[in-house]
Structure 1
Amino acid sequence: MRFSRIAAVTGATVLVLGIASCSSTGGKPRESEGGMGGGTVDTPRATIAMITHEVPGDSFWDLIRKGAETAAKKDNIELRYSNDPEAPNQANLVQTAIDSGVDGIALTLAKPDAMRAAVAAAEAKGIPVVAFNAGGDAWKEMGVKEYFGQDGYIAGQGAGDRLKQEGAKKVICVIQEQGHVDLEARCAGVKNTFPATENLNVNGKDMPSVESTITAKLQQDPSIDYIVTLGAPFALTAAQSVKNAGSNAKVGTFDTNAALVGAIEDGSVQWAVDQQPFLQGYLAVDSLWLYLNNGNIIGGGQPVLTGPSFIDKSNIDAVAEYAKGGTR
């Protein structure tokens, strides 16, 4: 992968701005020169399944769901959300959605190979599938129509550049789910632009274990001066590990939640790479509505990037209010 890879984002901003004040009314599509109702949804009720690899308790997914639910309410959609962190189980959830006769499927592709048969089964039934959050390198060749998310490798490169600017010497990149393609890509991107990076695999389903593993690593190697985590809860845990180990290491992370706002404000976490999960959930659902009702496909065959951007002390105040509302 190269840092110069470009993704199509044309239309995403216009789409979000244009539908911000829409409401849902149900009923038949209007047959007038007003197109799709001038921003007011009047299309028949549809059912969309959203199936993710969410690990229970990870607040990141609350933002995904809030975005998806917002779009579903506007678009007169019945949203059926389900999740399982184990890829074979996630694939079974996709098959269950197919068997129930949903009109569209939005899913994550953290482990694409395990999802191929399920995606092919949906396509064989004529059910449109879009992907978001994970699987940016696999969605297109799997026949998925659209992808919404950040490029993990490019985001990692940006984090590595930032580490260089801050004068870091030795970094550990903490992966909470080994084999997850997007998480692995993020750390690979960090290492590409900041070679003095070592991956540390932890069990993301067991937070006390995460804390003890990071603590032990810092005690074993005092030269580590920066920790990069791949999710907000893990950043907060890493900050505690720094205290446990009596280390001077700084913490940066990918992704945000409301609790991270205070950590950035007090300096226990330096920055977060934001991929805008609310927007991912919103666009995944809204894109299916557009496809079902007007045959639209967003992105021109390229991924629609929702990140990365950095959140730090310089702009945390602007994000804080949205975080309190559960959308950032």
Structure 2
Amino acid sequence: MATVRTGVRAIGAVLAAAVGVSALAGCSSTGGKRAEERAQQATAEGRSAVNTPKWTVAMVTHSGDGDTFWDIVQNGAKQAAVKDNINFLYANSDEGQEQAQLVQSYIDKNVDGLIVTLAKPDAMKAVVTKAVKAGIPVITVNSGVDQSKSFGALSHIGQDETIAGEAVGEELAERGKKKALCVVHEQGNVGHEQRCAGAKKAFDGQLQNLYVDGTSLPDVQASIEAKLQADHSIDSVVTLGAPFADAAVKAKETAGSKAEVDTFDLNAKVASDLKSGTLGFAVDQQPYLQGYEAVDLLWLYRYNADVLGGGRPVLTGPQVVTQKDAGALEEYTKRGTR
């Protein structure tokens, strides 16, 4: 587990440097600091920090409605868009074909750049390839690390879901857990399957998947509750998104279970529940950074033909967050950037 955390700190340092470089390339330390301060002030005031043309960038994700994770991604993207004088557009659908149609609509509008997720890559392949052939630069975020390069994207920004899952499996083992439930709230999402598979691979206990209807939190709670009532040997429930952690906590309480609830992703409620001990741990992939860097990298590409990653994904996680870490993150989760 120590190896994962150390690697994440290194990744965070590299990405923090990349953000600074994106804002201001090739400056001396003193001049760079002053210019960065001016850029931050301009962003805070809603003004652009650059004088490049008003390019339009669209982001199309597989998010369902009400998922706070994607609010954080958008917060990062919007912040970078202000700084980079970008007109930022956003659309989403949790149905693969509808997501592809939304991408097509932006191709028809001849946007200057596209940011897409590939949770359902088969549905997205043709339209992403079409965008690239039309001369629209594409960056993939969050999901699709295995398909991004072959689809023609410039880069992928996110976490490797298998590695993230393995981090969960290792953490469960360290905590002495023996039987875990991996709650999959979106069937057909390859990233979710990879998370559970990675956890199962690294966990020396038993892990089984529970498929639920993520569009209805009451149904999610009822499904978890029924499973916990039927099997009292389950000592850990892992949800794959922050909004579902609270449903799992309620299910645990109504089922009279002593299982620990853990989750992927972070938001203000998860941070609060980690601090109180209601949740055991969370895996943060820094969604704000995914949105911010995606917009910033498209700006860099349009302005200077720059590409980060050298053909490899730009990793933003995983980072295992526990009770001892939660307090330090509260400031950021409350403002919607973590």
Q: Same fold (TM over 0.5)?
A: yes
Give the distance between the partners of 1:23 and 1:170, measured in 2 at CA. Answer: 47
Q: 2:79 aligns with which of 51, 70, 73?
A: 70
1:142 aligns with 2:171: no
Alpha-carbon distance, 1:312 to partner: 1.2
Of residues 94-103 and 9-18 in structure 1, the stretch that sits farther from structure 2 once superposed is: 9-18
Alpha-carbon distance, 1:12 to partner: 2.9
Give the distance between the partners of 2:334 and 2:199, measured in 1 at CA. Answer: 30
1:191 aligns with 2:200: yes
Matches within 5 A, 1:1-328: 12-18=15-21, 19=23, 21=37, 22=39, 40-194=49-203, 195-328=205-338
Q: Is the 8 A contact 1:11 1:298 kept in 2?
A: no
Alpha-carbon distance, 1:15 to partner: 2.1
What SS does the aligned partner of 1:298 have?
coil
Give the distance between the partners of 1:268 and 1:237, measured in 2 at CA. Answer: 12
Residue identity matched to 2:90: Y
Alpha-carbon distance, 1:179 to partner: 1.4
Q: Is the 8 A contact 1:108 1:132 kept in 2?
A: yes
Which structure is higher in helix share?
Answer: 2
What SS does the aligned partner of 1:218 have?
helix
Give the distance between the partners of 1:67 and 1:219, measured in 2 at CA. Answer: 40
Alpha-carbon distance, 1:135 to partner: 0.7
Give the distance between the partners of 1:283 and 1:152, measured in 2 at CA. Answer: 19
Q: Check 1:321–1:11 CA distance in 2 against 1; reply closer, same or farther (3 A cut).
A: closer
Identity of aligned residues (%): 48
Q: Is the 8 A contact 2:58 2:88 kept in 1?
A: yes
Give the distance between the partners of 1:213 and 1:325, measured in 2 at CA. Answer: 32
Q: Check 1:101–1:24 CA distance in 2 against 1; reply closer, same or farther (3 A cut).
A: farther
Deviations 1:79-137 (A, max 9, x none): 01011110100000000000011000001100011001111110111000000001111
Give the distance between the partners of 1:268 and 1:315, measured in 2 at CA. Answer: 14
Structure 2 unaligned blocks of 5 or more:
24-35, 43-47
Residue identity matched to 1:274: D
Structure 1 unaligned blocks of 5 or more:
26-38
Q: TM-score, normalised by structure 2?
A: 0.89
Of residues 42-51 and 14-23 in structure 1, the stretch that sits farther from structure 2 once superposed is: 14-23
Q: Is the 8 A contact 1:49 1:80 kept in 2?
A: yes
Q: Is the 8 A contact 2:49 2:85 kept in 1?
A: no
Give the distance between the partners of 1:75 and 1:24, measured in 2 at CA. Answer: 13
What SS does the aligned partner of 1:140 have?
helix
Q: Is the 8 A contact 1:251 1:269 kept in 2?
A: yes
Structure 1 runs, 4 residues or longer, greater than 2 Å off: 6-13, 17-21
Q: TM-score, normalised by structure 1?
A: 0.91
